[in-house]
């Protein structure tokens, strides 16, 4: 019995190796980094791994940190957008619907109306990289309504 206990206690589980194999499998770390720099980078990523999103958690947040973002507009929003939809393949439409449903379930997106008459529509496309889809919205109309924050140049 004592041999079994000593064998079990001598085995150490390397969590950093598991993190490297599972979380950083698709990471593209610069090959020109020295081994020490690569090791230091992996240490930092492992230390702050909770700040990054993974496939199991579709939306990443840093606990305890909240930022209040105020949108300053100079006209009534939302405008009536009359832009045609971008053409999309069946694969792209399915991926887009999946992304939208995920974001609605997470509370990031919600349906809005324009004075109760209709929905605001912004052209959205699906970009593919390494066989993974990404939703990209065209927010140029929204940007024309925002008032940029003006920060004076500090005097030194």
Residue 128 lies in a domain: yes
Residue 102 lies in a domain: yes
Read off the CATH number of the domain in which 95 is found.
Answer: 3.10.10.10
Residues 81, 139 within the same domain = yes
Is residue 89 a contact partner of residue 97, using CB atoms and an 8 Å limit? no
Residues 109, 38 within the same domain = no
Reference 53, options 132, 147, 148; nearest CA is 132
Domain count, the chain: 2
Residue 29 lies in a domain: yes
Residues 22, 74 within the same domain = no
The 10s digit of each residue's pLDDT in 16-41 is 778 777 777 778 888 899 999 988 98
Residues 122, 149 within the same domain = yes
- Does the reported pTM lie above 0.85? no
Is residue 59 a contact partner of residue 108, using CB atoms and an 8 Å limit? yes
Reference 132, options 86, 101, 109, 98; nearest CA is 98
Residues 22, 90 within the same domain = no
Domain carrying residue 43: 2-51
pLDDT in 10s for each residue of the chain, 156 residues: 444 444 444 455 677 778 777 777 778 888 899 999 988 988 888 888 777 766 666 565 556 666 666 766 666 665 666 667 677 788 888 888 888 888 888 777 776 655 544 455 566 777 787 788 888 877 777 777 777 777 777 777
The 10s digit of each residue's pLDDT in 79-94 is 666 667 677 788 888 8
The kind and range of the H/E element at 128 are strand 124-129
Is residue 109 a contact partner of residue 101, using CB atoms and an 8 Å limit? no
């Amino acid at each position: 019995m004592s041999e079994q206990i000593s064998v079990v206690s001598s085995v150490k589980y390397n969590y950093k190796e598991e993190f490297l194999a599972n979380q950083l499998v698709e990471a593209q770390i610069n090959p020109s980094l020295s081994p020490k720099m690569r090791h230091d980078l992996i240490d930092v990523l492992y230390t702050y791994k909770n700040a990054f999103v993974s496939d199991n958690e579709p939306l990443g947040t840093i606990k305890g940190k909240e930022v209040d973002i105020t949108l300053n507009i100079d006209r009534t929003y939302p405008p009536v957008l009359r832009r045609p939809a971008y053409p999309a393949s069946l694969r792209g439409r399915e991926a887009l619907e999946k992304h939208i449903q995920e974001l609605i379930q997470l509370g990031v997106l919600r349906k809005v109306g324009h004075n109760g008459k209709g929905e605001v529509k912004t052209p959205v496309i699906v970009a593919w990289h390494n066989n993974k889809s990404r939703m990209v919205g065209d927010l140029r109309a929204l940007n024309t309504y925002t008032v940029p924050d003006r920060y004076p140049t500090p005097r030194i």
